[in-house]
Amino acid sequence: MLEVKDLHAWYEESHVLHGVSLDVARGEVVTLVGRNGAGKTTTLKAIVGIIRKKRGSVRLLDDPIERQPAFRIARMGVAFVPEERGIYAGLSVMENLMLPPVVGSSPWTVERIFSLFPRLRERAGSPGTTLSGGEQQMLAIARALRMGPSLLLLDEPTEGLAPSIVKAIRDLILEIKREGITVLLVSQNVRFAAKVSDRHYLMVNGRIVESLENAQVIDREHELLEYLGV
């Protein structure tokens, strides 16, 4: 589904990514794990075309997309849910859901989204400014799913959320996986990642330093938690 080779990226003159290479097979959930500032978010932004100053290869279903603008990559079926969620504060929950265009052949219906997130149904007419952090995260992911993506990029979807909401996000990612949607996830929460992901890439200082199967992450959980400072 996704193949990244020797990806370098810059913020102005600051060289942030140093030859990142990774791949994600169709239907997989793969996690980028690393400390804050390791380059995980930058990798996602470079993949979806938000960061334009870059070098290397990014291929989606074997088509090169590294030179495409962000809106074209989105129309190819790549949805990005940023850590800051991007909820439009002045729009209602329903308006936020209906805002982006449908780009895929299997978009999630509003009714299906509401069945998974009853709280969003209850808050359908509420403006974004009144939503809790957990409700905003639910809405951000739901909005991406309504587009019908084939590849979903999630940046720290559980950061700062209550355990009950983290569980709901975990269940949602597992449901997405059952649907065959491919997911590239950024998370510092190793325990969470091990419950949803097939494989993991460990990032340090803008480089991939290790590729780990899920069983290896489970076996090395204590070591990884200590390294990440969690």
pLDDT digit string (tens) for 35-60?
888 999 999 999 999 998 999 999 99
The pLDDT of residue 51 is 93
Which has the closest alpha carbon to 154: 114, 109, 211, 192? 192
Give the separation between CA 212 and CA 151, rounded to whole angstroms.
Answer: 21
Pick the CATH number of 2-228 from 3.40.50.300, 3.40.640.10, 3.40.109.10, 1.10.760.10: 3.40.50.300
pLDDT at 229: 67
Q: Could you state, in order of their start, the residue ranges of all structural domains in the chain?
A: 2-228
Q: Is there a contact between 118 and 171 (Cβ–Cβ < 8 Å)?
A: no
pTM value? 0.92
